Amino acid sequence: MFWTSYLLAVLAIVLAWPVPILLSRASWPARSPFTAMLLWQAIALAGGLSMIGAMLVYGLEPIGDNLISGLRGLAGMVLFNAPTTALGFWHLFALSAAALLTAHLVFTLLLTYYKIERQRRRHRELLALLAAPSAAAARTVVISHDSPVAYCLPGGARSVTVLSDGLMAALEPAELRAVLSHENAHLNQRHHLLLWAFAAWRQALPWLPTTRLAQEAVNSLIEMLADDVALKTESKATLIKAIAIVASGPTGGMAGGMAGGMGAGMAGSMAADATPSTHPSLTLDGLEAPTGAVSGSARTTISRVSRLLSPQPQLPAAARGMVLAGCALLLALPTALLIVPGLLG
């Protein structure tokens, strides 16, 4: 497994640095956001697997010709007091580092979920006091505020879309339908789960360029996906105007999901969890949203409007197929290196 560990390490470095940088600068993801979303997920999973796998394989190299046989040998040492003389200092160090990194990633994922759920629970309590059910649509509540605000708050059967009466007064009926369709798309497509995973990844490894670039890209891609759903029933001009109205608020659209984020109830809370020390809050009649999301929301709004104003054709089926094949290869390569006995010796 000597060469396997080094190949996994090289793959981890490539997926942590040049690949995400190149993908973040590419223009094609706006043409096929779903395909791009799958690629970002594949990069994240393959990168994490390669990073941990490289350390595991190196540490287990003296006692097995693949990960499974090595783990069996390690279990024998731990559970049945088998001799440990085959493992040197650096092998034990690599195994310890792999175990610590795995525990760190899992713990951060769970901690991020706990923080997000706690914020959402508090947000629902505030909405129960400050909001009233909307007559315009089911699972929608209205807060009394002059600024244009629209976002969704996920929570299974308790999921709601939140609008401000200032927004409702500014929108035409078709524009309101576009907003509701956009926010419902976030809920129906479970975008909050993606945001949770990438926010946790960024918080766990904030020094890794992949984590920041991936989170920003995913935030933008889910907005494009929701826009595409809204375009099925409303015109492009209607959607652009709705985005512009929400973005015209004093918070720069940060609290409005239609303006470049899923709002204080979703993307905002996750962004706060990703970098908790740098986010003072704006108060919107008791509902808080992190100001650190403003710049990211503005960039997302610009990219979405540009995409709508200058539409490009969807990637050809052959190109999408190549990207999907690349996703499969990214996941298959580190997996094969880990479990196939003596693949590289």
**Three-state SS string across 256-321, please?**
CHHHCCCCCCCHHHHHHHHCHHHCCEEEECCEEEECCHHHHHHHHHHHHHHHHHCCCCCCCHHHHH
Q: Which two tokens stand for residue 266?
A: 């979703």
Backbone angles phi, psi at 87, to 5 degrees: -95, 120
Which amino acid appears at position 324 of this protein?
L
Angle CA 23–24–26, to nearest 5: 60
Contact 182, 257 (CB under 8 A): yes
CB 267 within 8 A of CB 261: yes
Reference 124, options 263, 249, 6, 287; nearest CA is: 287
Q: Are the C-beta atoms of 46 and 331 separated by less than 8 Å?
A: yes
Measured CA angle at 123 (ends 119, 126), to 5 deg: 145
Q: What is the radius of gyration, based on Cα positions, of the chain? A: 23
Distance of CA 199 to the CA centre of its chain: 6
> pLDDT digit string (tens) for 110-148?
999 999 999 999 999 999 999 999 988 999 999 999 999
CB atoms within 10 A of CB 124: 16
Residue-by-residue pLDDT tens, the chain, 345 positions: 668 999 999 999 999 999 999 999 999 999 999 999 999 999 999 999 999 999 999 999 999 888 888 888 898 888 888 777 789 999 999 999 999 999 999 999 999 999 999 999 999 999 999 999 998 899 999 999 999 999 999 998 899 999 999 999 999 999 999 999 999 999 999 999 999 999 999 999 999 888 999 999 999 999 999 999 999 999 999 999 999 999 886 543 334 456 654 544 344 433 333 333 333 333 444 444 433 444 568 889 999 999 999 999 999 999 999 999 999 999 999 999 988 866 545
**CA gap 222, 228 in Å, rounded:** 10
Check: CB of residue 164 under 8 Å from CB of residue 146: yes
Q: If 0-12 CB within 10 Å is exposed, 13-18 middle and 19+ buried, where does residue 65 land?
A: middle
- pLDDT of 67 reads 84
CA dist 271 and 211 (Å) reads 12
**pLDDT score, position 295:** 56
Residues 59 and 20 sit within 8 Å (Cβ to Cβ): no
How high is the pLDDT of residue 343? 56
Give the helix/strand (H/E) hosting 151: strand 150-153
Q: What one-letter code names the amino acid at 181?
A: S
pLDDT of 48 reads: 95
Q: Quote the pLDDT of residue 268.
A: 40
pTM of the model as a whole: 0.88
Return all residues near 106 (Cβ < 8 A) that are at least 6 apart: none
**Rounded-to-integer distance, Cα 251 and Cα 268, Å:** 13
